[in-house]
Amino acid sequence: MRKSRLSISKQKRLIELFVAGSSARTAADLVDVNKNTASYYFQRLRQLIHDHSEHLEMFEGEVEADESYFGGRGAVGKVPVFGLLKCSGKVFSVIIPDAKAIH
């Protein structure tokens, strides 16, 4: 993010924790920043994602969200899939091609 007082390494770590689904409070403890700073940073990341989303209509109205893993037996080789179901019946889904890249 532009004009941030946080070091690049702290910004990268906050982004990693955001993607991993950590709470802002947990991220603040792990990165050694104030909880309000982490909360603000997470909110700013959400705003950036929203501002650059190509399919904003998927977030209008009532929406159900879910994630799952598909393929094979056991934990190895499964593909994560994230989906949104609008009450109007329209479904949006995203297959995460390389889950290792997220972690």
For 13-31, write each residue's pLDDT tens digit.
998 888 888 899 999 999 9
CA nearest to 64, candidates 97, 29, 88: 88
Cβ of 17: how many Cβ atoms within 10 Å?
20
Q: What is the residue extent of each domain of the chain?
A: 8-51, 56-102
> How open is the CA angle 7-9-11, to the nearest 5 degrees?
70
Average of per-residue pLDDT values in the chain = 79
Identify the band that residue 58 occupies on the pLDDT scale cut at 50, 70 and 90.
low
Average pLDDT over every residue of 56-78: 75
